[in-house]
């Protein structure tokens, strides 16, 4: 159990957050697919990325302090046992795509939480390329892929899922002939921007991308800061009127900035400044100034772009006056935990009022929370959101199972408390 109590007063701070987790997974896997030596500079910490590094090592890829040496995806060796993705759905889904064209079969598994995550959504899109893929009878892991030749196709994905799109893209790079991938907009398009910059694809519209098969070249990947991690510092600051924080060098990919739009909708002042592009992906600085927050309605299109941060919206809603409604976010039910239920429980256990909806939640804000004890439930984002709630909790917050935050950001509690120290 870890306790958080925030002293009165405001703060002004500048922060740098760890390398972006989504970008780091993709850089590691693309570097592993390339033949020769690549560099990944500033890749993030945490257990999820460690799982990707271990998985690549099982396939014959060497990683040492950002230096990656690989025989190339065409010469990956068969793993001697099922590959364990730990808690990382990104590791499992993206590697399923990268492994789909191998002549050998590979089985991917994970921890107890990941083994309950839906993977059936991978099967149809990868099968459209000719992949042989099997999932468990309940649509969850284990996932087994490989053993067939792939052919380019038109692949339609019914959800705006960056992980599924990226998995199909990595498979399509190894297919015979081009592939066109379409899905509803709102997804993170990091993979597609990077491949377009490398000459391996072309954007056709906001929802369609053409993959041009070919060898992934060795490259130097510089990883921007993780905006999803920064969101917890930005939210803490938004909850304290007069406080201000600037986070430097984070990804400003349009699929990642939904939470900034939420903060603005709820009355916080947000300034964004793009400072450059890395492999076609925008990077820059974000400054948030705390104000008295107002309630808001967060509908489906914005909820998709702020999906990982929606537990924080429940905390923001408790600080606002009036009802904050989130809908169109049913995907939250099948994350590391049922994050709809967990976010509502978090608010209630700290003395606030909230209720579940089938695809979201309603928080009736009263300007603050009493405080108390919360269980993280083996979900790193719930643990971190509970810590942020201490900003508006009169009696502070104690988080049981807080060590799960190390899945994404081992140094988070120190970074949070540095704001007001």
Q: Catalytic positions, please?
A: 308
Tally Cβ neighbours within 10 Å of residue 21: 25
Name the token pair of 243: 């406080």
In order of 159, 228, 262, the CA distances from 306 in angstroms are: 15, 9, 8
Q: Name which of 349, 345, 336, 343 is nearest 397 in CA terms.
A: 349
Strand order in the sheet with 220-222: 62-64, 67-71, 35-41, 220-222
What interhelical angle do 21-33 and 162-172 show, nearest 10? 10
The edge-to-edge listing of strands for the beta sheet with 281-289 is 12-15, 244-251, 281-289, 269-278
Q: What is the DSSP string of 189-224?
A: -HHHHHHHHTTSEEE-SSSEEEE---PPPP-EEEPP
DSSP tag of 76: P
Tokens 């509502």 sit on residue: 344
Contact 209, 203 (CB under 8 A): yes
Instruction: Give the number of residues written for the chain.
Output: 421
Q: Which one, of 411, 380, 419, 408, lies nearest residue 15 by Cα?
A: 419
- Return all residues near 64 (Cβ < 8 A) that are at least 6 apart: none
- Read off the tokens for 249: 């060098």
Task: State the helix-helix crossing angle for 190-197 and 21-33, rounded to 10 degrees.
Answer: 40
- Per the CB < 8 A criterion, the answer to whether 157 and 181 are in contact is yes
Residues 399, 331, 238, 407, Cα dihedral to 10°: 40
């Amino acid at each position: 159990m870890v306790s958080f109590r925030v002293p009165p007063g405001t703060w002004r701070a500048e922060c740098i957050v760890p390398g972006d987790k989504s970008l780091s997974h993709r850089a590691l896997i693309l570097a592993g697919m390339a033949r020769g030596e690549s560099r990944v500079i500033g890749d993030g910490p945490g257990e999820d990325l460690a799982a990707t590094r271990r998985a690549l090592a099982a396939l014959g890829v060497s990683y040492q302090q950002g230096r990656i040496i690989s025989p190339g995806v065409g010469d990956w060796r068969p793993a001697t046992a099922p590959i364990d993705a730990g808690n990382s759905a990104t590791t499992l889904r993206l590697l399923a795509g990268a492994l789909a064209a191998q002549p050998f079969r590979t089985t991917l598994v994970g921890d107890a939480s990941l083994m309950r995550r839906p993977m059936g959504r991978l099967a149809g899109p990868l099968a459209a390329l000719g992949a042989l893929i099997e999932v468990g009878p309940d649509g969850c892991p284990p996932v087994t892929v490989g053993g067939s030749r792939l052919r380019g196709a038109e692949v339609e994905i019914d959800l705006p899922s960056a992980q599924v799109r990226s998995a199909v893209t990595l498979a399509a790079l190894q297919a015979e002939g081009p592939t066109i991938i379409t899905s509803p907009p709102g997804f993170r398009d990091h993979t597609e921007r990077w491949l377009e910059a490398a000459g391996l694809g072309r954007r056709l519209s906001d929802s369609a991308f053409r993959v041009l098969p070919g060898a992934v070249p060795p490259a130097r990947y510089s990883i921007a800061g993780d905006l999803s991690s920064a969101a917890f510092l930005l939210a803490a600051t938004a909850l304290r009127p007069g406080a201000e924080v600037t986070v430097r060098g984070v990804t400003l990919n349009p699929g990642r900035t939904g939470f900034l739009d939420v903060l603005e909708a709820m009355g916080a002042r947000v300034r964004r400044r793009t400072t450059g592009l890395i492999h076609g992906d925008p990077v820059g600085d974000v400054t948030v100034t705390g104000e008295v927050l107002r309630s808001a309605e967060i509908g489906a299109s914005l909820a998709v772009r702020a999906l990982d941060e929606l537990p924080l919206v429940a905390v923001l809603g408790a600080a606002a006056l009036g009802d904050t409604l989130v809908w169109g976010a049913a995907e939250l039910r099948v994350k590391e935990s049922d994050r709809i239920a967990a976010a509502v429980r978090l608010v209630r256990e700290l003395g606030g009022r909230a209720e579940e909806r089938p695809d979201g939640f309603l928080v009736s804000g009263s300007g603050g929370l009493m405080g108390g004890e919360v269980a993280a439930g083996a979900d790193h984002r719930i643990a971190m959101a509970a810590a942020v709630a201490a900003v508006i909790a009169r009696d502070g917050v104690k988080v049981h199972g807080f060590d799960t935050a190390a899945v994404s950001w081992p140094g988070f509690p120190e970074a949070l408390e540095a704001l007001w120290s």
